[in-house]
Structure 1
Amino acid sequence: MTTETEEPTLTIDELAARTGVTVRTIRFYGTKGLLPPPVIGPRRVGHYGREHLARLALIEELQRQGMTLAAIERYLGQLPPDLTARELAIQRAVVASWAPGTAERVSREELERLAGRALAEEEVERLAAMDVVERDGASFRVDAGLLRLGVELLDVPLSQKTLLAARATLTEYSRAAAHELSRLLRDAVAERDARDVRSLSAHMQPLVVQALLTTFQRSLKEELREWMDGDARG
Structure 2
Amino acid sequence: MKLYKSIWRYVSLSEMNRILLATIVTAIFHGIGITVLCTRMPISYYLMGPLFQFMFTVSVRFAYRFINLVRRRKPRNENAKYNSLIIGAGSAGQIIIKELENSSVVQSVPKCVIDDDPNKWGRMLENIPIIGGREKIIEAVQKFDITQIIFTIPSASAKDKREILNICKETDCKLLTLPGVYQLLNEKVFLQHLKPVAVEDLLGREPIKADLGQIKQQIQGKVVLITGGGGSIGSFRALSPDCDL
Could you say which TM-score interval applies, normalised by the shorter chain?
A: under 0.3
Task: Give me the TM-score of the superposition, normalised by structure 2.
Answer: 0.22
Q: Which has the higher strand share?
A: 2
Task: Give me the TM-score of the superposition, normalised by structure 1.
Answer: 0.23
**Computing the radius of gyration over CA atoms, which structure comes out larger, 1 or 2?**
2
